[in-house]
Amino acid sequence: MPELPEVQTVVNHLAECITGRSITGTEISWARSIAVPGVTLFSQQLVGKVCRAVSRRGKYIVIALAPHGYLLCHLRMSGDLKVADAAAPRSKHERVRILFEGECELRFDDPRKFGKMYLVADPEEIVGTLGIEPFSRNFTSEALYERLHQRALRVKTLLLDQRCVAGLGNIYAVESLWHAGINPLVRSNKLSKERVVKLRNAIYEVLRKAVDARGTDLGDGVWKSGGYSPKTYGREGQPCRRCKTVIRRVIVNQRSTDFCPKCQSR
């Protein structure tokens, strides 16, 4: 479900609500939501810590704790993290609750149970292998070109590889390729410098607009607040927003991939 813009939306919410608060307890109803360490250690080490800051790396939420340690969370397909009043009714799919002083709690909802939380000394243990952060100054067309040309994968496959660019998922990879006019099946190492410049700019613009819109609303009720409206993703059979050609769908890496056969020809 969540890609970079949706994760950023969660981060903004958490930063506002739990920064400076201290943890008083935990409730874990699905043990496998805790990736590391074990459930017991996780709870023991969390109690008494203070939430120092909340940030994001790729699709990981990073909560810095005082006096030490980091709580990371990956929402995977269906996860959501929100702060709620202790008295507020709980959702059906709540997996972990982290209790704070002042009757407020962090709730990890995750219907499909794919999401994970990590309590570590150094976030690099988890996010160390991630690629370029799209909003950092390192995200240049030169850097992207170099990474695309290191391998001969279909360009969309490489965009989904978090070791290349961190934060893109199926929706925004599809959207970026449409904006850049690049066919998803093209080999990454065959892209010219000019096309990589277009791709870099498309990725940056798509993500920036989606963050501003607080993510995408796909109508399942989870990201209802998200106002980003995909131009191509999920529009198979409908006219291209640019040239009216019927949008087609192919499967790349077992993921649905919508594209315009004319704007994104080979």
Partner DNA sequence: CAACCGACCTGTTCGC
Partner DNA sequence: TGCGAACAGGTCGGTT
5 catalytic? Reply is no
255 catalytic? Reply is yes
* 153, containing H or E segment: none
* Residues 195 and 88 sit within 8 Å (Cβ to Cβ): no
239 catalytic? Reply is no
Tracing tokens 């978090």 back to the chain, one arrives at 162
CA–CA separation, 99 and 192 (whole Å): 52
Cβ partners under 8 Å of residue 220, min gap 6: none
Q: Nearer Cβ to DNA, position 216 or 264? A: 216
Output the smallest distance, CB 142 to DNA, in A: 20
User: Residue 218 to residues 94, 120, 158, 210, 233: CA-CA distances in angstroms?
Assistant: 21, 33, 24, 13, 10
Q: Nearer Cβ to DNA, position 70 or 118? A: 118
Binding residues for DNA, per CB under 7 A? 1-3, 6, 32, 58-59, 74, 76-78, 92-93, 111-114, 151-154, 157, 160, 162, 169-171, 215-216, 218-220, 222-223, 226, 252-256
Q: Nearer Cβ to DNA, position 21 or 235? A: 235
Paired sense of beta strands 80-85 and 70-74, if any? unpaired
Q: Nearer Cβ to DNA, position 37 or 52? A: 37
125 catalytic? Reply is no
Marked catalytic residue, from 21, 59, 154, 214:
59
Output the smallest distance, CB 258 to DNA, in A: 9
User: Residue 145 to residues 35, 189, 244, 265: CA-CA distances in angstroms?
Assistant: 34, 8, 31, 20
Marked catalytic residue, from 82, 242, 249, 255:
255
Catalytic residue numbers read 2-3, 59, 255
